[in-house]
Structure formats: C-alpha cells, structure tokens
Structure 1
Amino acid sequence: MKEVILSLITGIIVGFLFALLKLPIPAPPALAGVTGIVGVYLGFKLFQMVAPMFTK
C-alpha cells in the first residue's frame, strides 16, 4: 500500500509541475486512456497467474 500512496503523491507532484510549466500532460488526458493502461497491467498480471498452467 505504501508504494501506491507514494506513486499517487509523485503523480500529483509531476502533474502539478507539468501544468505549472505549461507542458503537455505525460499521461493519457482522458479516462479511456487511463483505463487502457489499467487494462494492460491487469492483462499482464492475469498472464502471470495462468502461465504456470501452460508450462507444466
């Protein structure tokens, strides 16, 4: 949980600095883009769970 909180704090700081410097956001600007990133992560974790079934 500590990693999640530190990641969120770091993201907020980076987002704030990018806005302050008037730079484009370094992440998808829409909820659909963020959801896609979460989907990629979940797919990766799913593969890690099912991969041992195929390597026996």
Structure 2
Amino acid sequence: MGLPRSLALPKQRAHAILLYTRARYAAGVSQAELARQFGISYQRVHQIVQRKRR
C-alpha cells in the first residue's frame, strides 16, 4: 500500500537512500545495523540490498 503522498519521500531522495544503503552493505555494514540506523525493519533492508520490490 505505501505511505500517503504527503509522507512519501521525493523520488530522488528515496533513490539516494537506496543507493547509500546498498553501498554501506557492500562495505560490510550488517543489515541489522542498517535497519537500526534508518529506523526500518531488517526485512526492508534485506529487500533493498537484494533489489526486491515491495
């Protein structure tokens, strides 16, 4: 379902966060640590680093 438009991140910012998350994971940061840093679930981090859509 997703967030209401008023709460959603602008596409460019959301894309930048995805790229940053993937780069940090590739650099050795654990998925659990990334989840804590961004305040999102471990499952969502897993989807991001595995490039799966939600």
TM class by shorter chain equals 0.3 to 0.5
Q: Which structure has greater helix proportion?
A: 1
- Compare relative contact order (CA 8 Å, sep 6+) and give the higher one, 1 or 2: 2
TM-score (norm 1): 0.41
TM-score (norm 2): 0.42
